[in-house]
Amino acid sequence: MYRKQVRRRRAVLVALIVVSLILLSISFSEADSGPLHSIQRGLSAVLSPLEEGASRALKPARDFVNWFDETFDARGDNEALRDEVQQLRAEVADAQSAVGENRQFRKMLKLDPADAALAEYDRVTGRVIGRSPTVWYSEVTVDVGSSSGVAVNDSVVTGDGLVGSISDTTRGSAVVALITDHRSAVSAKLLPDGPDGIVEPEVGDPDDLLLDFIDSNTEVKEDQVLVTAGWSNGRISSAYPYGIEIGRISDATVSGEQTFQQVHVQPFADIRNLDYVQVLTGGPARPGVPG
* 8 Å CB contact between 224 and 247: no
Query: Residues binding another protein: what is the number (CB under 8 A)?
Result: 65
With CA atoms as reference, report the closest residue to 252 among 284, 277, 224. 224
Asked if residue 124 lies in contact with residue 279, where contact means CB atoms within 8 angstroms, the answer is yes
24 is an interface residue for another protein by CB under 8 A: yes
Q: Which of 13, 81, 99, 119 binds another protein (CB under 8 A)?
A: 13
CB 232 within 8 A of CB 219: no
Does the bond joining 35 to the residue before it have cis omega, within 30 degrees of 0? Answer: no
- Contacts for 69 with CB less than 8 Å, ≥ 6 apart: none
CB atoms closer than 10 angstroms to residue 182: 15
- As measured in angstroms, the least distance from the Cβ of 204 to another protein is 4
Q: How far is the CB of 71 from another protein (least distance, A)?
A: 13
Residue from 7, 50, 219, 253 in contact with another protein (CB under 8 A): 50
Distance of CA 242 to the CA centre of its chain: 15
Task: Give least dist CB 286 to another protein, A.
Answer: 22
Minimum CB distance to another protein, residue 26 (Å): 8
Q: SS3 for 100?
A: helix
Judged by beta carbon, residue 5 or residue 97, the one nearer another protein is 5
Burial 201-233 (b: 16+ CB within 10 A, else e): beeeebebbbbeebeeeeebeeebbbbbbbebe
Q: Which is nearer to another protein, 59 or 82 (CB)?
A: 59
Minimum separation from the CB atom of position 150 to another protein (A): 14
Q: How far apart are CA 183 and CA 164, in angstroms?
A: 11
Interface with another protein, residue 151, by CB under 8 A: no
141 touching another protein, by CB under 8 A:
yes
Residue 26 touches another protein, criterion: CB under 8 A: yes
Residue 129 binds to another protein (criterion: CB under 8 A): yes
Which positions lie near another protein, rule CB under 8 A? 1-2, 5, 8-9, 12-13, 16-17, 19-28, 36-37, 39-41, 43-44, 47, 50-52, 54-55, 58, 61-62, 65-66, 69, 129-137, 139, 141, 167-168, 175, 182-183, 185, 200-205, 208, 210, 272-273
